[in-house]
Amino acid sequence: MPGERTAHRFLDPAVLAKLQGLELRARRIVEGYFAGLHRSPFHGFSVEFAEHRDYAPGDDLRYVDWKVFGKTDRIYLKQFEEETNLICYLLLDVSQSMQYRGPESPLSKLEYAQCLAASLAYLVLRQQDSVALVTFDDSIRQLISPRGNPTHLKDLLAVMEEVAPTGKTRTGPIFHDLAERLKQRGIIVIISDLFDDVDSVLAGLKHFRHRRHEIILLHVLDRAEREFPFDRVTLFRGLEQLPDVLTDPRSLRKAYLAEFEAYQRRLQAGCRAQGADYVLVPTDRPLDMVLSAYLNRRK
């Protein structure tokens, strides 16, 4: 289990204090919860009375409302609404490109993403729901099953502490694999720089939606990647098995920015088409501001 150092690395008490009162809730019907309430739209016989319905042969007589029968001479069954827990699946990209840290950024993309995942896990567990963690690059590295125990947070932090980025980003096949593995529907939170083929990414999201998961895509990017501020001859180090390139960035800026904006527009439009939330997460923006703005918007 991680020690105090790991917890403080990923969970800033000042950030958590600013997130008090916020919760991650479901917007759509997803495996027994609806619009942010821990109450199922699927009737059962468990927690809270919902309504009566006519008796049908084979129904359990334990749920007959005998008081109503005495008054109306008709047999009605009590129906109840089930209390069910939200399941949040955190999908954390640990590919090599996530190690990038621009000249003005306090954290690398991976470090920021780890803090983001840890804070979301803390919020979900605090609201007595369940959280799972998947780390991936070109394959699934770790898959920690969902649990709602507060001590589960230590297990998740321990997995994040052991991350050693080496592989390429390969979201499409990973998402298809996970869509088949994650049997219980829930909220899929993808935390990644998404440096991959957009069509492949969107095909994976479509598979999640086919499985009736709700999707939140947190697109973690460094300011330098978005603005390309370099103005001197620069050696760009290749990540994810790409070669190093020595070039004058001023000659590339216009084309780079046009390509990057087109990529981002396609990604956003594809997310909208799949009913997924797209959230740009700049690593130079305070974490509590990013989470507070988004979670308040979901309300």
Average pLDDT on 121-141 reads 93
Q: What is the pLDDT of residue 10?
A: 83
DSSP, collapsed to helix, strand or coil, labels residue 116 as helix
pLDDT 10s digits, 239-270: 656 666 667 677 788 888 999 999 999 999 99
Q: What is the pLDDT of residue 120?
A: 94
pLDDT tens digits, one per residue of 136-173? 999 999 999 999 988 899 999 999 988 888 778 889 99
pLDDT above 60: residue 41: no
Rounded to the nearest integer, the mean pLDDT of the chain is: 82
- In this structure, which amino acid lies at residue 264? Q
Alpha-carbon gap, residue 120 to 117, rounded angstroms: 5
Q: Among residues 41, 49, 145, 125, which one has the least CA distance to residue 84?
A: 41
Both tokens of 204, joined, read 């994976």
CATH number given to 4-20+86-298:
3.40.50.410
Average pLDDT value for residue range 24-51: 46
pTM here is 0.77
Q: Check: CB of residue 90 under 8 Å from CB of residue 131.
A: yes
Q: What are the structural domain ranges in the chain?
A: 4-20+86-298, 43-81
Of 171, 160, 144, 162, the C-alpha closest to 240 is 171
pLDDT of residue 9: 75
User: Which pLDDT score is estimated for 134?
Assistant: 97
